[in-house]
A and B are shown apart, each in its own frame.
Chain A
């Protein structure tokens, strides 16, 4: 999948409008970025400069969670120093936001359901897609996985646009006790859909499992990959992942430019 070129990419100097904890260790940040909002498409991301002081050098990539008028939001998990610092930034704090970046999900044209599979903060990458699918009146199911109840994300956001949500937690504190991929397998086994489409984002292991399931059931599947990023503009070649070019060869493609969205079965999972 080729991305649209960087001509519609903007480096917006903006300020935080709100930055609130929405689940344990997860925050929703809102800011005004008119050009980014105007051009953002499902799956695309922003590259955010959190600190300009000494110490932390690089920006951090986050998916565009929602777009409303001139405003965008991002939904993020505290992982390390960068996201920790971001979570402490108050309303009015300055932020440099580069975007929109990367390619986009290809929208299904099938009448059968689109199945969104999100693990942890990965569900953030599927929200804009969910909105567009519903605008096109495509039946959409949400499968949302979390470690435990307090970390569950996005369920009400999905339900509010008419998406039925199935939940899985690692400890069973809500929904299915186990992995979200187990719900996916059961769904595909029990229902007689002719050709659903799967869209997934989440931890590496979850995406690898989704790809196996997709292969077994022969369901076309698009996944949003993550990787450490330097430039996010396609020049440093730091963010690559292995992509099959035929049965026994692969090449390294940039998650920031050829991705983040890939066909699940194109990824050379055995190379990681």
Chain B
């Protein structure tokens, strides 16, 4: 790839990226795990696993289950906590020329604020992604993401505490995603990530037991792509801030579909588990697509869905 080629450059809510391909939180660890397969300097951004104010132990096992074209997970946000992240994980990422976006989660507004303030003073954080959509927690997490008033309050409070770009990660587990999207845009979010996992469950017919200890979990992978595309399209029509689209992206063609639906960038999630080089292949494939279709910039694709006008009988 030609380094001076600007066709893939994007700016997501103030974060300048060499290309629009990011990693989805929770599917790429803290960046170091995949260095053998992914040149971090070739990614648009690295989004790390959700961090909380104190370390969380996570949910009991079983935590994952494969389902047709997808997987359920109920990890319960096992993580080292924000202090552990800053002292043990962040220094490694500073050696790379790639924006680092930190996924932030909490059970209360205060917990989100504690993490945000600590990240403010940490060197090497390009932005934060507020996870208001984790389906695997008893309280907090997703409850902020399914209530427009709570979501507005949370983002307003975090906005008051930081100059870092704020992405807000939306939950698909709502009746009308545009209400939440508009609420957090109004509260000062710089960009939106859509979508987090879809709440689901799997049952063992022999034992009559749930396959996950948490009973329910979040569905990800190709199974959710049609839902994700629809939600990105709906959000795109209702806000003016950029959208990072995700949900079942395995290939560059999948990514192209997300741009057409209205994403300005994409994130590769579950695909990393199946193919450690998936994110790199999406970058290369996007390049090839633009070249082939003779498109000067990826931005031309964003929201370019061609909907035929209704025919009158």
The residues of A with any CB-CB pair to B shorter than 8 Å are 6-7, 9-11, 49, 54-59, 96, 98, 227-242, 251-252, 271-272
Q: Is the pair A231, B61 in contact by a Cβ cutoff of 8 Å?
A: no
B296 proximal to A (CB < 8 A): no
A230 and B33 in contact, given A54-B69, A57-B221, A237-B58 (Cβ under 8 angstroms): no
Q: Is the pair A238, B274 in contact by a Cβ cutoff of 8 Å?
A: no
B64 proximal to A (CB < 8 A): yes
Task: State the majority secondary structure of interface residues on A.
Answer: loop
Nearest-CB residue, chain B, relative to A227: B61
User: How long is the Cα–Cα vector from A49 to B273 in the complex, in angstroms?
Assistant: 10
- Which segment, of B11-19, B22-30, B112-120, B257-265, faces chain A? B22-30
| The one of B35, B66, B273, B275 that contacts A236, using a Cβ cutoff of 8 Å | B273
Q: Is the pair A58, B63 in contact by a Cβ cutoff of 8 Å?
A: no
Q: Is the pair A240, B274 in contact by a Cβ cutoff of 8 Å?
A: no
Pairs A–B under 8 Å by Cβ, sample size 27: A7-B35, A7-B36, A9-B36, A11-B275, A49-B274, A55-B69, A57-B221, A57-B222, A57-B274, A58-B66, A59-B273, A59-B274, A227-B61, A230-B270, A231-B273, A233-B29, A233-B273, A234-B29, A235-B29, A235-B272, A236-B26, A237-B58, A237-B78, A238-B64, A240-B78, A252-B57, A271-B60
Q: Is the pair B71, A57 in contact by a Cβ cutoff of 8 Å?
A: yes
- For the complex formed, measure the closest distance between the CB of B8 and the CB atoms of chain A, giving whole angstroms: 24
- For the complex formed, measure the closest distance between the CB of A51 and the CB atoms of chain B, giving whole angstroms: 10
A residues near B71, Cβ cutoff 8 Å: 57-58, 230
Q: Is the pair B63, A237 in contact by a Cβ cutoff of 8 Å?
A: yes
User: How long is the Cα–Cα vector from A227 to B61 in the complex, in angstroms?
Assistant: 9
3 tightest A-B contacts by CB?
Answer: A238-B64, A235-B29, A231-B273
Interface range, B side:
35 or more
A57 and B58 in contact, given A235-B33, A235-B272, A238-B75 (Cβ under 8 angstroms): no
B276 proximal to A (CB < 8 A): yes
Q: Is the pair B33, A234 in contact by a Cβ cutoff of 8 Å?
A: yes
Q: Is the pair A236, B27 in contact by a Cβ cutoff of 8 Å?
A: yes
CB proximity to A under 8 Å, residues B46-66: 49, 57-58, 60-66
| The one of A11, A59, A233 that contacts B33, using a Cβ cutoff of 8 Å | A233
User: How long is the Cα–Cα vector from A251 to B33 in the complex, in angstroms?
Assistant: 21
B34 proximal to A (CB < 8 A): yes
B96 proximal to A (CB < 8 A): no
B residues near A54, Cβ cutoff 8 Å: 69, 222
Q: A10-B36, A56-B66 are in contact. List 7 more A-B contacts (CB 8 A).
A: A6-B34, A57-B270, A98-B276, A234-B29, A235-B29, A239-B64, A240-B58
Q: Is the pair B73, A230 in contact by a Cβ cutoff of 8 Å?
A: yes
B residues near A11, Cβ cutoff 8 Å: 37, 275-277
